[in-house]
Structure 1
């Protein structure tokens, strides 16, 4: 199985041994971040640092002034954590070690955008804004995301791209000092708490025959038992079914436009994959999609391959045509719940569920011991 390793530019820059170390794992490809959200990351082998703090969502290359001039929304360049053309420098070093480089682009997940332009954010039925979650139903947000996809994907040296968060984001979010787990939310409750009630979504609900204010009240009523420790009201499932066609259409329009923009800028032969989940009601980094639709738009998908990943992979594999990539994303960082000692077993499991490729998350974060087990497994190729 062709295997790619996720990396950040700061895993490579300033560490001259990094490219050869990664190539020595046996991987043929690296998926290198070019547009990424804020994060705090460990760099356990770097000669100059151990912790990198990316303070805000940024592009990890110099954005083109000509490309973004006059646009209402535009990306920020990164700070000291990835200065200048960090992506380009890292990509050249990795290519020199014999590795193919694909870009890794995070789209609808951007807390700085929400802080600077609050009206762009998803707003729930209670009026609470989610600054990390741009509302993809808004035309100016969609235009921004499509433009970002094209510029951040097609970087010099990149042979393809993986688009993460190319769809709806919602309540679920790994936020600093998170305190929202006091009430457990099952899938439909998560969906209802992720419904957006901005004006653009309001127009969309009206188009499918739903009155926005009534819908808002129905969502609150359905969720009320949950806050008291009980189950979601049965009407919650009906609300999901009533609103999902609108949200699915919006997500599909974004995905079609983003993929077309990338291909238009890159030309023939540039691979485009989406991080995805085969349930259209899901939100987040692995966006909910209709499997048949997305495999007809992109060259394939990247799917969580951990606990529960077998069914997700099968959800795509049964709809895949010949040549579609179904890549299983397997964590190899033991401190993050990964099982690098069982990578061979994990590879067989996801292959049996229909995976055609592997993604290793995340070799820049993994310990020397974790990487040694990946190397000994003989799985990467």
Structure 2
């Protein structure tokens, strides 16, 4: 089973030892960020820094001015955390070390976009905006994300891409200095708090036969017990048709745009969840549909099986396994977890995250990959 790991360009650039170190772990490929959201990241082995602060969502290469000319929504280049063609420099170094490189593109997760263009954001049933979550029900947002997918995915030297957040984003997000854990939100409550009621989504609900005002009232009613410490009432089903349509068509358009821009053989995967209503980095999908659209998915090891039931010849099912102990990962059980994922139908492994892991974590990963052969 081939194994790859996630990486940021700043884990490589300025550290000449990084490519050989990563190749020495027994990895076959690297999924390298080319468009990424704001973050504060540890770099435990870099010779020049220990913390990288990415102040806003950005592309980690110079965006093509001609592609974005005249567009109101456009990607922002990175600041000093990833200057110039940071992606390209890191990719070249990794390829020279014998590693296959695939681009890692974050789409519907962009707080800079929400700050500069608040009208693009998800609006919940209470009227609160989520500036980190672009609403994929809006035509302008969808056009922007599809164009971004095509540009950020097909970078020089990339053999394929992985599209993250290619679907609905919602409430769950580690926003700056989050203070949202005072009330526990279960899966239903997370979904209810993620439903969007911007003008485009209100029109979408209406097209699917739901009155948007009545639906918003039903959502607030279903959530009312949560604020008193009880479980939510059942979620009203009226919203799902519109949201499924918006997610399906965005995913189809993004994959088609990448393929149109890419050379033959370029592989397109989506970070995906098999529950269509889910929001987030692993976007909710309909497994049969998405595996007919993309070349495969990257999904948590626990959710491989629902995709495996719809696998065709050549379908990639990459099991995402966290290997950073400090972030809740379990490098010590990697070999056993990988074998279990393979039994569920996984064809590849994806390890999160080679740049964030400690030396001890990486040594354990190397032993596990050796054990797996």
Query: TM-score surpassing 0.5?
Result: yes
Given the alignment of the two structures, is residue 253 of structure 1 paired with residue 249 of structure 2, yes or no?
A: yes
Q: Kindly indicate whether the alpha-carbon contact (under 8 Å) linking 2:332 and 2:364 is maintained by their aligned counterparts in 1.
A: yes
- Following superposition of structure 1 onto structure 2, how do residues 137-286 of structure 1 map, counting pairs within 5 Å? 137-234=137-234, 236=235, 239=236, 241-286=237-282
- Following superposition of structure 1 onto structure 2, how do residues 106-121 of structure 1 map, counting pairs within 5 Å? 106-121=106-121
Counterparts of 2:94 and 2:363 in 1: how far apart (Å)? 20
The Cα of 1:118 is off from its aligned counterpart by 0.2
Equivalent position of 2:341 in the other structure: 350
Q: Kindly indicate whether the alpha-carbon contact (under 8 Å) linking 1:279 and 1:289 is maintained by their aligned counterparts in 2.
A: yes
Q: Say which of 343, 358, 371 aligns to 1:367.
A: 358
Counterparts of 1:288 and 1:227 in 2: how far apart (Å)? 26
Q: Kindly indicate whether the alpha-carbon contact (under 8 Å) linking 1:183 and 1:227 is maintained by their aligned counterparts in 2.
A: yes
Counterparts of 2:157 and 2:305 in 1: how far apart (Å)? 33
Counterparts of 1:98 and 1:215 in 2: how far apart (Å)? 54
* TM-score normalised over the length of structure 1: 0.96
Counterparts of 1:367 and 1:246 in 2: how far apart (Å)? 44
The Cα of 1:191 is off from its aligned counterpart by 0.9
Unaligned runs of 5+ in 1: none
Q: Kindly indicate whether the alpha-carbon contact (under 8 Å) linking 1:27 and 1:380 is maintained by their aligned counterparts in 2.
A: no
Aligned alpha-carbon RMSD (Å): 1.0
Q: Kindly indicate whether the alpha-carbon contact (under 8 Å) linking 2:33 and 2:105 is maintained by their aligned counterparts in 1.
A: yes
Given the alignment of the two structures, is residue 339 of structure 1 paired with residue 330 of structure 2, yes or no?
A: yes
Query: Which deviates more, 51-60 or 331-340?
Result: 331-340
Find runs of 4+ consecutive structure 1 residues off by over 2 angstroms: none
Q: Kindly indicate whether the alpha-carbon contact (under 8 Å) linking 1:205 and 1:246 is maintained by their aligned counterparts in 2.
A: yes
Given the alignment of the two structures, is residue 292 of structure 1 paired with residue 288 of structure 2, yes or no?
A: yes
The Cα of 1:64 is off from its aligned counterpart by 0.5
Q: Kindly indicate whether the alpha-carbon contact (under 8 Å) linking 1:35 and 1:58 is maintained by their aligned counterparts in 2.
A: yes
Q: Kindly indicate whether the alpha-carbon contact (under 8 Å) linking 2:354 and 2:362 is maintained by their aligned counterparts in 1.
A: yes
1:92-140 Cα deviation digits (max 9, x unpaired): 0000001100000000000000000000000000000000000000000
Secondary structure (helix, strand or coil) at the match of 2:341 reads: helix
Q: Say which of 312, 315, 318 aligns to 1:324.
A: 315
The Cα of 1:304 is off from its aligned counterpart by 1.3
* TM-score normalised over the length of structure 2: 0.98
Counterparts of 2:124 and 2:279 in 1: how far apart (Å)? 14
Counterparts of 1:321 and 1:242 in 2: how far apart (Å)? 32
Number of corresponding residues: 372
1:38-97 Cα deviation digits (max 9, x unpaired): 000000000000000000000000000011001120000000000000000000000000
Q: Kindly indicate whether the alpha-carbon contact (under 8 Å) linking 2:335 and 2:372 is maintained by their aligned counterparts in 1.
A: no
